[in-house]
Amino acid sequence: MPLESRPKSELSEQTFRSIPGLVWYGQPYGPASGHQALFRFENSYGLSVVYHTGSYGVEAATVLYEEHFTPSDDPHVDYQDHSELSIIEALGDDDLIYPNLTKESFVALAERIRALPNHWTREITVLKIEELER
């Protein structure tokens, strides 16, 4: 269904810009027409949020950025080259993609992910605890 004939998303650029961690907002790369927002949080997690002709409403994919990677001047390249889609086990969900988000459900998801401990520090802590238990 063409984007113009779909119900208008209640998630606006203003909503995305109000969430700390937004690193890029604009037209998605590739053939789809619509919008994309990329978030990178201090804990190494992030979100790719899209609303385009092929999406299920507003969709968010959870992202994990590489450890010790220094962002470049192009956040979209950083997203493509230094991150991977990831199920965030600490959320207790089995979801990689969160479809049909409302403004409230998106803000809640972003806050849940931002509140998680740093992925890489958490991994080191778990390894040290396991070593002590041996």
What are the pLDDT tens digits along the chain (134 aa)? Answer: 454 444 556 777 888 888 888 888 888 777 767 888 999 898 888 898 988 888 888 899 888 888 777 777 788 788 777 777 776 766 767 777 889 999 999 999 999 989 988 877 765 554 455 555 55
Task: From residue 28, give the alpha-carbon distance in Å to each of 59, 71, 107.
Answer: 13, 19, 21
- Among 50, 16, 49, which Cα is nearest to 34's? 50
Residue for token digits 């119900």?
7
Report phi then psi at 58, rounded to 5: -85, 120
Q: What is the pTM of this model?
A: 0.75
The helix or strand, by DSSP H or E, that contains position 14, with its residue range, turns out to be helix 13-17
pLDDT at 106: 92
pLDDT at res. 3: 46
Per-residue pLDDT at 101: 92
SS3 94: coil
